[in-house]
Chains A and B, each alone.
Chain A
């Protein structure tokens, strides 16, 4: 199976919360990341969480980390049409400076 797994699509209504989930495999990963890719653009680092944290909040974004289950989630509150993008989860396995990326989740926000 893949090292980092994400569902491929998520559709939400504008104003609702979005939750994008990710599972990873390496318990020694020190950082876990969320990247955002808007249409026709490169990836932008959205946020990251250190492995000794359970939660990180930044305005509308909340990252939750469950190390026991190797599960990472990104919650976007009050989702807007501008949040429509592909969201990539990534981990740096074994403390490597080269992240391993998931295949990305396409978030579609409809009115």
Chain B
């Protein structure tokens, strides 16, 4: 069964901490994405990557950075966590050469910043 795996389901961090959210996919997908999901706001794209070492800003990149050193792994970094980054974070991947470009999502990481 193909999968996108996010390393943590729940995280609690303190304001100002550096936070790493990890995502690994085993489907050899070129594209990987990080979204945050907040009630009433739906999904908002933070960053995406279409190849190793490549990254593009999404709609809300401020306060975040990403790293993609290997094709299967895409990390989201909160340089200095703040309370307004408390959210559900979703990782996804997709194939570029696909009939539908549909996403496969991970189960999500619920981050609380206190």
Contact partners of B105 in chain A: CB under 8 A: 35, 42-44
We find that the number of chain A residues with CB closer than 8 angstroms to chain B is 21
Check B107 against A42 for contact (C-beta < 8 Å).
Answer: yes
Measured CB to CB, the nearest residue on chain A to B35 is A101
Give the number of residue pairs across the A-B interface with Cβ within 8 Å: 51
A45 touching B42, Cβ below 8 Å: no
Find chain A residues with CB under 8 A from B45 CB.
98
Q: Count B-side interface residues using an 8 Å CB cutoff.
A: 23
Is there an interface contact between B48 and A98, defined as CB atoms closer than 8 Å?
yes
Contact with B33, one of A35, A44, A98 (Cβ below 8 angstroms):
A98
- Decide: A99 near B101, CB < 8 A? Known: A42-B90, A88-B42: yes
Residues of A within 8 A of B104 (CB): 45
- Map CB proximity to A onto B99-111 as digits: 1 under 8 Å, 0 otherwise: 0111111111000
User: Which residues on the B side are within 8 Å of A48 (C-beta)?
Assistant: 100, 102
Complex Cα spacing A94 to B1, Å: 31
Q: Are A103 and B42 in contact (CB under 8 A)?
A: yes
Residue numbers in B under 8 Å from A8 (CB-CB): 40
Residues of A within 8 A of B (CB): 8, 31, 33, 35, 40-45, 48, 50, 88, 92, 97-99, 101-104
